[in-house]
Amino acid sequence: MKKLMLCIVLLLVCGCEESFTPEQMQALAAQNEVLQKELDKVQAVAAAVAAEIEAAGIVDEAAVDRLAKVNEEIDRVQAQVDAIARALKGVPLTGDAAQDFISQFQAVNTASAGVNPYVVPIGAGLSGLSIILGWLAKRQRDEAARQHLKYQAHKQGVEKTMKECSSSSDSGVVAVESQLYNNIGAARDSLGV
C-alpha cells in the first residue's frame, strides 16, 4: 500500500500526460471526501456480506480474517489519502502557478510523512526552489520598477521640452510640437491607453 500511495503522489506530481492547474488539484482533493464516503459504504457492505457468509458456513474463518485485514489496510491508506487531500485543499492559492504548485507539493509532501521516507530531502529541495523562484520574481519586479522609472524620466523630459517649445513662435518648432502630440496620441491609441 505504501508503494501504491507513493505511485499516486508521483503520478499526480510528475507523470501525468495532462498537467493540472492548482485549482484543479484542489477540486480533486475536494472530491476525495465523496470518494472516501463511498469507499466506507463499500467496506460496510463487504463486511456485512462476509459476516453473513461466515454465519451460513459458506467460507472459513481464515477468509473472513483476510477480508478484515484488507479492510484495516484500506482504513489505514484511506486516512493517509484523506490527510493528503485535506493538506492540498488547505493551500491558499496566490495566482502564481509555479509558486502555487510548489506550495501544494510541499503540503502533500508534509502530509505524506507517514509513508514517504523522503519527506526531509524533498522538503528541503522544495524550499530551495521556492526561495529561488521568489528571488527571480523579486528581480523581475525590480527590473519592471526600474523600467517604469526610466519611462517616467523620459516622459518628464518630453513634457518639459514641450512646455519650452510651446512658448516658441517659430513655425518649425510648432510643427514638431504638433507632430509629437499626434505621435503620442497614435501610440496611446495603438496601446489602448
Averaged confidence pLDDT in the chain: 80
Q: Are residues 98 and 19 in the same domain?
A: yes
Count other Cβ atoms within 10 Å, centred on residue 111. Answer: 22
Does any domain span residue 124?
A: no
Residue 75: name the closest of 47, 43, 49 by CA.
43
Residue 101: name the closest of 6, 16, 30, 13 by CA.
13
Find the domain containing 180 and state its range: 140-191
pLDDT per residue as tens digits for the range 135-157: 998 999 999 999 999 988 888 88
pTM of the shown model: 0.53
- Cβ proximity of 24 and 44 under 8 Å: no
Number of domains comprising the chain: 2
pLDDT per residue as tens digits for the range 118-129: 888 888 988 888
Q: What is the pLDDT of residue 15?
A: 47
Does any domain span residue 171?
A: yes
Residue 85 pLDDT > 80: yes
